[in-house]
């Protein structure tokens, strides 16, 4: 049976340096991962659209097709909510949430988005886009 010998000052200094280096590496990794996550900010936009009332059904069909396709095939398209004003259903507001700005830029270059824009170009009377910051969200589980 071998008895452990006491650690001399030189060995202790090496162990201390190695421990400190490992500790700093771990801290650096944890904080850089957190920083990277914070830098990749979701892009949130409100689109306010005035649609020709005589073409509203066609517009809504094109919008629904574009939204469902985008969410289904584009990983960076996270959420779409489209709502109509109850007093004027031709006033549409869309909440769009993308993983980041790059996902949005990729989205507007897709075939389905370009098809939507071409389809509705004569239906849309006005379009106002507003980039917003998401303060918070709450929803029931499973929604």
Q: What is the pTM of this model?
A: 0.71
CA 27, CA 131: separation in Å to the nearest integer?
A: 35
Q: 128 is written with which tokens?
A: 């106002």
* Angstrom distances, CA of residue 24 to CA of 16, 17, 63: 12, 11, 51
Per-residue pLDDT tens digits for 12-58: 666 666 666 555 556 565 655 444 444 568 999 999 999 999 999 99
For residue 9, which phi and psi values (nearest 5 degrees)?
A: -60, -40
């Amino acid at each position: 049976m071998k008895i452990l010998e006491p650690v001399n000052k030189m060995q202790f200094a090496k162990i201390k340096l190695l421990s400190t280096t490992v500790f700093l590496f771990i801290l650096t990794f944890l904080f850089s991962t957190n920083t990277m996550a914070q830098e990749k900010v979701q892009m949130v936009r409100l689109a306010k659209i005035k649609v020709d009332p005589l073409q509203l059904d066609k517009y809504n069909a094109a919008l629904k097709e574009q939204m469902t396709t985008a969410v289904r095939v584009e990983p960076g398209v996270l959420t779409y909510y489209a709502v109509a004003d109850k007093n004027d259903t031709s006033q549409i507001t869309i909440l769009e949430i993308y993983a980041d700005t790059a996902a949005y830029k990729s989205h507007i270059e897709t075939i389905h988005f370009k098809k939507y824009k071409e389809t509705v170009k004569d239906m849309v009377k006005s379009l106002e886009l507003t980039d917003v910051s998401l303060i918070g969200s709450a929803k029931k589980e499973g929604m």
